[in-house]
Amino acid sequence: MGLKDKVAIVTGAGSGIGRGIALRFAKEGADVVTPDINLEGAQNTVKEIEALGRKSLVLKTDVSISSDVDRMVTETINKFGKIDILVNNAGIFIQKPLVETTESDWDKVLDINLKGVFLCTKRAVQEMLKQGSGKIINLASVAGQVGFADSSAYCASKGGVINLTRELALELAPKNINVNAIGPGSIETPMTREMLADPAVKQMLLGATPFGRVRSARGHSKCGFVPSLR
């Protein structure tokens, strides 16, 4: 098994789970595109990918802006000629009680976490249909299934990702495009550090984790690797 000479786009690859997945893909033989709003982080990931002997492409990308997404896909096709795998990993987390959550907070989380998945998937699928195959992996969350207190926008966005994944899997399977979702639990990333800093939230998460500990993003990267082989 492996991903030799496959081309993958991993959004939000500048840190956390996205970086872990991007590096795992490179180790397995894939060339990896690393779009991220955090350009410096994405550039650091690219250096690690290239050190593994694989090609990469770094792009400053806001997945909630359609023109950015179009450029991401167009430049990937121009450089590599195809897209075998799309990992919709980019996301943000805002922790606030409902009554303190502003409309701007809500829009920002939904735009990046859910609209971004829609935009990236739609544009990548246009290329995958031409190719006759493709694999899409969406980063959901256990928060989209069971909910966490003081994170209404995040839970709503991840619940949306889960059901969007179900719909896309049904719609695209006849076209030889596989769509799956991953629901990470207690993973230490730059995005989750604020959440895990709250003792009550951390205890709740660890209580639902069989190992009773927070895992590293790189240790979780296999969860993105396995669906890419199906």
| Residues 112, 192: Cα–Cα separation, whole Å | 16
pLDDT at 221 > cutoff 50 = no
190 Cβ neighbours under 8 A, 6+ residues apart:
15, 16
- % the chain with pLDDT above 90: 73
Q: Give 84-106 pLDDT, tens digit per residue.
A: 999 999 999 999 999 999 999 99
Q: What residue ranges do the domains of the chain occupy?
A: 7-229
| Residues 7, 152: Cα–Cα separation, whole Å | 35
- What pTM, to 2 d.p., does this model score? 0.84
The whole-number average pLDDT for the span 212-228 is 52
Q: Which of 154, 224, 225 is nearest to 184 (CA)?
A: 224
**In terms of DSSP H, where are the helices of the chain?**
16-27, 39-51, 66-80, 103-110, 116-131, 143-146, 152-172, 193-196, 199-207, 222-225
Told to judge if 64 belongs to the known catalytic residues of this protein, a careful annotator would answer no
Q: Which of 170, 174, 148 is nearest to 159 (CA)?
A: 148
Phi/psi of residue 224, nearest 5 degrees: -85, -30
What are 150's two structure tokens? 């003081």
DSSP per residue over 1-68, as a string? ---TT-EEEETTTTSHHHHHHHHHHHHTT-EEEEEES-HHHHHHHHHHHHHTT--EEEEE--TTSHHH
| Residues 208, 137: Cα–Cα separation, whole Å | 24
Q: Give 35-88 pLDDT, tens digit per residue.
A: 999 999 999 999 999 999 999 999 999 999 999 999 999 999 999 999 999 999
Q: Which CATH superfamily is domain 7-229 in?
A: NAD(P)-binding Rossmann-like Domain (3.40.50.720)
For residue 178, the surrounding DSSP H or E stretch is strand 177-182
**List 80, 93, 148, 154, catalytic entry:** 154
